[in-house]
Amino acid sequence: MTTALITHDAFDGHVTPDGMPERVARLEAVRAALEDLDLLRVEAPLATDDDVTTLHTEGHVARIRASVPQSGFAALDSETFLAPGSEEAAFRAVGGALKAVDMVMAKEVKNAFVAARPPGHHAEQATPMGFCIFGNVALAARHAMDAHGLDRVAVVDFDVHHGNGTQALLWDEPRALVVTSHQMPLWPGTGYPDERGPHDTIVNVPLAPGTDGGAMRAAYTQQVFPRLRAFRPELILISAGFDAHAADPLAQLRWVEGDFAWVTRELCALAAELCDSRVVSCLEGGYDLDALGASARAHVLELMEAP
Ligand SMILES: [Zn+2]
C-alpha cells in the first residue's frame, strides 16, 4: 500500500508578516522536497465547525472567523497572525488531518503525511498560540475515536517545542496517550515530567539544549516506546515538527535528518507491531528551509518504506 500526501494550495493563503519564521516558504520547501516521490496526492478538504468544536469552544471558532482581515494582517497575539486566506487554510489544516485518519482507517493507504499550515500543537481550547489556530492533531485523535470508534489513540509529538495545546485538548481524555519530547528550557515553558494528566496518559520527555541524536534515541528507547507498547494504540498520530534540527534558528537541539528518519522508522515498526501499521503524520514546526525540506523528505521516505 501507498503513502498519502495530503496538502492544498489554499495553505499558501495563510500569509504571515515579513520576518515571521512560520511562513509560506516553509510549505513550498516541503512540497519541493517531496516532488519526485511516488505518493498518492490528495487535496485537504475543509473541516466543518462541528469537527473543530469537538475540542475547541464555539467562541474560539467565532473569534477566528470574526478576526480574519479583509486585507493585511490581524494579530491574535505577538506571533500568531491571520491574513485574508487564513480561515480557509486553518479549516483545511484540520480537514486534512481528519481526511488522513479516514483514509488510513479505510485502508485506502498505509499511512499519510499531512503537509499543512497553520500548524496546530500549541492551540488550546479557546486560545490560538504560537503560530497555531486549531489543534489539528488533537482533533484528528478525537475524530478517530468519534468517527471510527477507536478506544486507544497515541499522539507522538517530536517538535522541539512542547505540544501544550495537544496536551491541553486531550488532558481529560483517557483514550488518548499524548507523548511529547521537547527542548527544556524553551518557549512555551510547559512540559515537565510531572504533567501527567488525571488518567496518567500525558508523557512529557524534556531534552536539554544541545541534545543530539544519540541522546534523543536513548530517551525515546527508554521513555517513549515502552509507554506506547503498554498503551497498545489502535492508531499512531505524529506531530512532525522538524525544528529539533541542528540548523533550526528557534531552538538548540542537534538532531539531523537521520534522526528524524530513525524516530519515524521506529514508530512505523511499533505501528506494524501494535496497530496494523496505521500512522498519520502532520507537519508542525521547522524553520530552516533546507533542514525542513531534507528532514520532511527523510520522514516521508520512512513512511513509504514502513512495514
Ligand atoms: Zn516547534
Mean pLDDT of the chain: 98
Look up 122 and say whether it is catalytic. Answer: yes
Given a cut of 90, is residue 79 above it in pLDDT? yes
pLDDT digits (tens, 9 = 90+) for 47-77: 999 999 999 999 999 999 999 999 999 999 9
What tens digit of pLDDT does each residue of 231-281 get? Answer: 999 999 999 999 999 999 999 999 999 999 999 999 999 999 999 999 999
| CA 105 – ligand 1 centroid, Å | 28
Give the per-residue pLDDT at 301. 98
Q: How far is CA 137 from CA 61, 62, 195, 221, 238, in A?
A: 17, 20, 19, 23, 8
**215 — pLDDT class (breaks 50, 70, 90):** very high
Q: How far is the CA of 140 from the centre of ligand 1 (A)?
A: 19
Residue 40 buriedness (CB in 10 A; 0-12 / 13-18 / 19+): middle
Q: Helix 86-105 to helix 58-67 angle, to the nearest 10 degrees? A: 130
* Alpha-carbon radius of gyration of the chain: 17
Cell of 259: 534522526
C-alpha cell at 199: 488518567
243 C-alpha to center of ligand 1: Å? 6
Q: How far is the CA of 170 from the centre of ligand 1 (A)?
A: 19
Centre of ligand 1 from the C-alpha of residue 31, in Å: 19
Q: How far is the CA of 286 from the centre of ligand 1 (A)?
A: 6
User: Is the predicted pLDDT of residue 110 greater than 90, yes or no?
Assistant: yes
Q: What's the 160 CA to ligand 1 centre distance in angstroms?
A: 5
Mean pLDDT of 286-305: 98
> Could you tell me the distance, in angstroms and rounded to a whole number, from the CA of residue 171 to the centre of ligand 1?
20
C-alpha to C-alpha distance for 134 and 141, rounded to whole angstroms: 13
Using one digit for the tens of pLDDT, what is the confidence trace for 149-177? 999 999 999 999 999 999 999 999 999 99
Which residue pairs from 59-68 have beta carbons closer than 8 angstroms and sit at least 24 positions apart in sequence?
59/126, 60/125, 60/126, 60/127, 60/128, 64/90, 64/128, 64/133, 64/134
Whether residue 189 is predicted with pLDDT greater than 90 in this model: the reply is: yes
**Residue pair 140/52 in contact by the 8 Å Cβ criterion:** no
| Catalytic residue of the set 122, 143, 182, 299 | 122
DSSP β-ladder status, 81-82 and 74-75: antiparallel
Angstrom distance (rounded) from CA 205 to CA 261: 19
Tell me what pLDDT residue 76 has: 97
Ligand 1 centroid distance, CA of 120 (Å): 10
Q: Are 117 and 11 in contact (CB under 8 A)?
A: yes
Percent of the chain with pLDDT over 90: 100
Spacing, Cα 106 to ligand 1 middle (Å):
31
DSSP letters, 31-53, are HHHHTTS--EEEEPPPPPHHHHT
Structural domains for the chain:
3-305 (3.40.800.20)
For residue 182, the CA-to-ligand 1 centroid distance in Å is 9
Say if residue 1's pLDDT is above 90. no
